[in-house]
Amino acid sequence: KISFHTIRHWKATMLYHETKDILYVMDFLGHRDIRNTMRYIQLEKALYHPGNDQFHVRIAKNVEDACELVEVGFEYVTGTYVDGGKIFRKRK
């Protein structure tokens, strides 16, 4: 049986899958407590990431590069390397 909540769960799961932004999904759903939003994130991970450890990797040379990477869904991975670059990753 498909209900309003079925569609809401599907939309929230897909929205997180597309954006990887839990705060955006939390705001979209009108949740005040992030724990309520986490159930959609856990569902998305179970559906789309079972053992998937493949990533797109980029190196930010400066703050502007880092901001651009974060804006398109990359996450910060490590400290600064000898050449000054910082590594970011995003699941494929």
User: Mean pLDDT of residues grouped by 10 in the chain (92 residues)?
Assistant: 82 84 90 86 71 81 92 84 82 79
User: What pLDDT, on a 0 to 100 scale, did the predictor assign at position 50?
Assistant: 60
Phi, then psi, of 33 in degrees rounded to 5: -115, 125
CA 15 vs. chain centroid, Å, equals 10
**Structure confidence at residue 51 (pLDDT):** 63
The pTM assigned to this predicted structure is 0.48
